[in-house]
Amino acid sequence: MIQQRIKKLRKILVEKNLDGFLVSNFHNVLYLTGFKTLTENEREAWTLVTKNNIYLFTDARYMSFPRKRESREMDPPIKSEDDNVKYKLITPEKGLIKHLQEIVEEERINQLGFEGDDLKVNELQKIKDHLTNIKTVSLEKFIIKIREIKDEEEINNLGTACKIADECLEDVTKLIRPGISEKEIAFKIEFWLKEKGYDMSFYPIVAVDKNSAIPHYDTRAGNNEKVKKNSIILIDYGAKFKDYHSDTTRMIFTGKPSGEMINTYQTLLNAQTQSIERLKIDSNPVSVDQFCRRLMTTNLSYPHSTGHGVGLQIHEFPKISFTSTDVLLPNQVVTIEPGVYFENKWGMRIEDTVLIKEKGEIEVLTKFSKKSLIISNC
């Protein structure tokens, strides 16, 4: 699978007349090599893809020791998945720049692309100061656009992540009762996943009553509202499997929800399910976004996009919004997540992760029921 990803990248390099491309983004390094460092927000690894080779640069924390003391070559990183990668050890004596100088000369690189939306200004300046005989070319959203189209392995991982999330919520909802707080519910989601060896895609959004009217409520920083006899609870969460994410939002009611709540939920559910069906025939994300909003009444509009891509990151391309310039294509995995928010009262959102398939077919990967979940014994 990784070789197919490299092949796609090299094809574009030829089209853009580039001799190589320097990858600095954590997720893009992972995508192209299977190599993963501990911290995604620190610069602990780089990848260089040329016409002939794939180079991975990292330091001794991620390299195993040589089998023989006299060996000059390091053994592969313990987290790598590709035997075709050439590993370059970064040390205080020989950093990334020196390695690049050698490779540029050896492979006769004249034009080098880089991630213009990831590389820092001072990093780029250092490269330009030391690689004076080449032209550097900035490309934005380059690899992440390639990542839009998922291969079979990625689709399987995403499907498993969704299945895990479904099982998690199935168990956690049984624990919801009056008196339990938002943070307790979030903790139970986290504990369930970690006890079984998985992880969260993001810290869950658990919003009770008026907090559910805040589209991106921060449960960690919130007032930790407790569930009451007649509460409305929004849970937006995801599970991660082999670095791939799921994304689901479900609504839970305790006691007896009002007629307004039930009617609003049915309107929202109708808009969400019809918009998922729309993915079968509509490749324009702007059109899908508009279609979803038309199914809502004027006072039930929502301030966020209708959906987004999901993969190695929880938010990827394509974007399903009125500003999107993307195209919906087979083997993309996206969310559909319209919402309704009444300030200082309550809000609702329903979200599924969906695979767009060939021949106008779709598969909803998140299968937890969307029937009104009412915990009536409260």
Count CB-CB contacts under 10 A for residue 319: 20
Best CA proximity match to 310, nearest among 239, 251, 215: 239
Best CA proximity match to 32, nearest among 14, 13, 51, 8: 8
**Interatomic CA distance for residues 336 and 126, integer angstroms:** 43
pLDDT confidence tier of residue 300, bands split at 50, 70 and 90: confident
- The full set of domain ranges for the chain reads 2-146, 152-375
Span 135-143, mean pLDDT?
95
- Whose tokens are 């390099």? That residue is 13
**Lowest-confidence pick of 83-87, 120-124, 308-312:** 83-87
Q: Which fold has domain 2-146?
A: Creatine Amidinohydrolase; Chain A, domain 1 (3.40.350)
Please, what is the end-to-end C-alpha distance for the chain in angstroms? Answer: 50
At 246, which amino acid appears?
S
pLDDT tens track for 99-108:
999 999 999 9
The model carries a pTM of: 0.92
Asked if residue 75 has pLDDT above 70, the reply is no
CB 112 within 8 Å of CB 20: yes
Model pLDDT, residue 67: 39
Count CB-CB contacts under 10 A for residue 317: 22
Question: Beta strand pairing status for 54-58 and 352-356?
Answer: unpaired
- Whose tokens are 């299977």? That residue is 34
Chain centroid to CA 270: 26
Best CA proximity match to 59, nearest among 71, 45, 79, 48: 45
Model pLDDT, residue 298: 65
Model pLDDT, residue 376: 67
Model pLDDT, residue 68: 38
Q: Which CATH superfamily is domain 152-375 in?
A: Creatinase/methionine aminopeptidase superfamily (3.90.230.10)
Model pLDDT, residue 70: 35
pLDDT tens track for 246-294:
999 999 999 999 999 999 999 999 999 999 999 999 999 999 999 999 9
pLDDT confidence tier of residue 321, bands split at 50, 70 and 90: very high
CB 151 within 8 Å of CB 6: no
Are both 2-146 and 152-375 of the same fold?
Answer: no
Q: What is the DSSP letter of 327?
A: -
Express as a percent the part of the chain with pLDDT over 70: 94
Please name the residue ranges forming H helices in 213-334.
259-278, 285-294
Asked if residue 94 has pLDDT above 60, the reply is yes
Q: What is the DSSP letter of 301?
A: -
CB 294 within 8 Å of CB 318: no
**Lowest-confidence pick of 12-16, 54-58, 66-70, 300-304:** 66-70
Residues paired with residue 136 on neighbouring β-strands, in sequence order: 112
Span 2-20, mean pLDDT?
95
Residues paired with residue 47 on neighbouring β-strands, in sequence order: 23, 56
User: Across the chain, what does the average pLDDT equal?
Assistant: 93
Count CB-CB contacts under 10 A for residue 48: 24
Span 117-128, mean pLDDT?
96
Model pLDDT, residue 378: 56
Best CA proximity match to 152, nearest among 366, 359, 358: 358
Residue 294, C-beta contacts closer than 8 angstroms, at least 6 positions apart: none
**Interatomic CA distance for residues 199 and 190, integer angstroms:** 7
CB 227 within 8 Å of CB 176: yes
Count CB-CB contacts under 10 A for residue 193: 23
Best CA proximity match to 25, nearest among 89, 113, 136, 153: 113
Residue scoring higher pLDDT (52 or 69): 52
